[in-house]
Amino acid sequence: MQNFDVETLVFVCYNLRPSDLLSMACVCKYFNRVLNEHISPVAELIWENSRDKFTIFKDQDPPEAMTQKTFAKLLTFEKGCQFCKTKEETLTVYWIPGVRSCFECMVPGVICLDILQSTFKLNDEVLGLVLPVTPSLSESPHYWIDQVNNTIAHLMDADDNKLCEINNLRIGMGDKCREVQYYERWMSKLRKTHLRKLLSRFHAEIKEETLFEVQEDYEYKTLKNEIETNPFLVQDYGPQFEQYKSRILQIARRITENKIIQTQKLVIKYLKRLTYGSKRNSPKQTLSIRDRRYRYFSLCNSFRNPPDIINDDQFLTNLLREAEQLDASGTVVPNFLEVDGALKVGTL
Ligand SMILES: [Zn+2]
């Protein structure tokens, strides 16, 4: 792999999505080094370019202490929760501690302020060096347990040099807090604008009547809810958008097919009322079961794609005319009045 031409590799990387770059960095040590911002001069640009080019998280620098790679990795929503891989609605980026997680996976890793103060007797010396989990999990602040433990360990073996560093850190906590709030606001604003854009693109690419047809369908409602609660899972020009679009069209097709089957059942009922066997039982029965045209009905367009209104003379006239045309054209169909024919019709 080391013989791989760096220029070609960089060119390839410039055309890859962040999720592909992340996979690539795991392929071998050489790729990993090229994509490592600490040792490769081109890595920062590669990650930034990929995020700008292929995701909605563009025109935004990472937080001060975060590399472009970590920023891009954090925003790779299509990979789901970092811990359990779920793509459920609670999936979000927690800027403190800096993970993409679902709510369920966050809970075991946090501890609430009351317990830290009352049970563990943590004072402001420690708490002044850690920020609560953002966005917050509930009304009372929670802290990431690993961060609290690391801070305590850091304080315990602090010499004079480290104490100076810790003091600077304490002074900088206000800025850090403002930075986290900034990214939280950025993400929530982006969520709204992206959802708006996504829905308007669905409306632009799917016919209005199709969206009207599916709007009460349970599967569509679940799908819409999925998009609305976590729009970041669907990039507007990514493969996920096409997947969602084709799922909506499938739902519409299923609804149309069901409607056709229901209408065909009504057509059969209607024809039954008009049909007589050996003798007429009512004056309304005008069609003999032995009429040659009868056996063609199931092939007629009026039956296969029935109109909304079927209980009228026009429907019957069309159906009989189409059956006559099929008969005249020499189309062969089994005669359902004979045993063999009935069996064949039954398996059609
Ligand atoms: Zn999870």
Given a cut of 70, whether residue 347 has pLDDT beyond it is no
Q: Indicate whether 248 belongs to any domain.
A: yes
pLDDT confidence of residue 7: 83
CB neighbour list of residue 154: distance below 8 Å, 6 or more residues apart? 162, 166
Q: Indicate whether 264 belongs to any domain.
A: no
Cβ-contact 227, 195 below 8 angstroms: yes
189 alpha carbon – ligand 1 mean position (Å): 23
Given a cut of 70, whether residue 128 has pLDDT beyond it is yes
307 alpha carbon – ligand 1 mean position (Å): 50
Q: Indicate whether 275 belongs to any domain.
A: no
Same domain membership, residue 174 and residue 101: yes
Same domain membership, residue 65 and residue 105: no
- Dump the DSSP string for 218-275: HHHHHHHHHHHH-GGGS-TTSHHHHHHHHHHHHHHHHHHHHHHHHHHHHHHHHHHHHE
Given a cut of 80, whether residue 235 has pLDDT beyond it is no
Range with lowest mean pLDDT among 7-21, 120-134, 248-262, 276-290: 276-290
101 alpha carbon – ligand 1 mean position (Å): 5
pLDDT tier at 121, thresholds 50, 70, 90: confident
Same domain membership, residue 227 and residue 160: no
ipTM of the prediction: 0.99
Among 46, 75, 104, which residue terminates a domain? 75
Range with lowest mean pLDDT among 74-83, 119-128, 137-146: 119-128
Same domain membership, residue 60 and residue 3: yes
Among 53, 75, 97, which residue terminates a domain? 75
pLDDT confidence of residue 331: 81
pLDDT in tens, 6-50: 788 888 888 999 999 999 999 888 888 889 999 888 899 999 999
* Residue span of the structural domain in which 179 resides: 85-187
Q: Indicate whether 321 belongs to any domain.
A: yes
What are residue 96's DSSP bridge partners? 134
According to the 3-state scheme, what is the secondary structure of 2-15?
CCCCHHHHHHHHCC
Kindly state the percentage of the chain with pLDDT values over 70: 95
Q: Indicate whether 282 belongs to any domain.
A: no
State the greatest distance between any 2 C-alpha atoms of the chain, in Å, as a whole number: 112
pLDDT confidence of residue 345: 65
120 alpha carbon – ligand 1 mean position (Å): 27
22 phi and psi angles, rounded to 5 deg: -65, -40
Same domain membership, residue 90 and residue 71: no
Q: How far apart are CA 170 and CA 127, in angstroms?
A: 10
311 alpha carbon – ligand 1 mean position (Å): 56
319 alpha carbon – ligand 1 mean position (Å): 58
- Name the CA dihedral angle for 323, 327, 332, 334, rounded to a multiple of 10 degrees: 60
Same domain membership, residue 244 and residue 312: no
> Is residue 36 within a helix (H) or strand (E), and if so which, with residue range?
none
Q: How far apart are CA 119 and CA 103, in angstroms?
A: 24
pLDDT in tens, 68-79: 999 999 999 988
Cβ-contact 276, 288 below 8 angstroms: yes
Cis peptide before 334 (omega within 30 of 0): no
147 alpha carbon – ligand 1 mean position (Å): 19
Given a cut of 90, whether residue 144 has pLDDT beyond it is yes
Q: Indicate whether 233 belongs to any domain.
A: yes
pLDDT in tens, 313-343: 888 889 999 999 998 998 877 777 777 777 7
135 alpha carbon – ligand 1 mean position (Å): 16
pLDDT confidence of residue 4: 66
Same domain membership, residue 110 and residue 50: no
100 alpha carbon – ligand 1 mean position (Å): 9
Q: How far apart are CA 165 and CA 301, in angstroms?
A: 82
Q: How far apart are CA 99 and CA 120, in angstroms?
A: 25
Same domain membership, residue 67 and residue 6: yes
Query: 111: closest CA among 153, 135, 155, 147?
Result: 147
Q: How many CB atoms lie within 10 A of CB 162?
A: 13
Same domain membership, residue 98 and residue 182: yes
Q: Residue 78 gets which letter from DSSP?
A: G
pLDDT in tens, 153-186: 888 877 777 777 777 778 888 899 999 999 999 9
Residue-level length of the chain: 348
Among 187, 203, 225, which residue terminates a domain? 187
Apex 156 CA angle, 155 and 158, nearest 5 = 65
Q: How far apart are CA 211 and CA 7, in angstroms?
A: 47
76 alpha carbon – ligand 1 mean position (Å): 14
92 alpha carbon – ligand 1 mean position (Å): 10
Q: Indicate whether 314 belongs to any domain.
A: yes
143 alpha carbon – ligand 1 mean position (Å): 18
Structural domains counted in the chain = 4
Same domain membership, residue 92 and residue 174: yes
Mean pLDDT of 98-102: 94
Kindly state the percentage of the chain with pLDDT values over 90: 37
Same domain membership, residue 146 and residue 95: yes
228 alpha carbon – ligand 1 mean position (Å): 19
Across the chain, mean pLDDT equals 87
Distance of CA 249 to the CA centre of its chain: 15
pLDDT tier at 3, thresholds 50, 70, 90: low
Same domain membership, residue 183 and residue 197: no
Q: Indicate whether 110 belongs to any domain.
A: yes
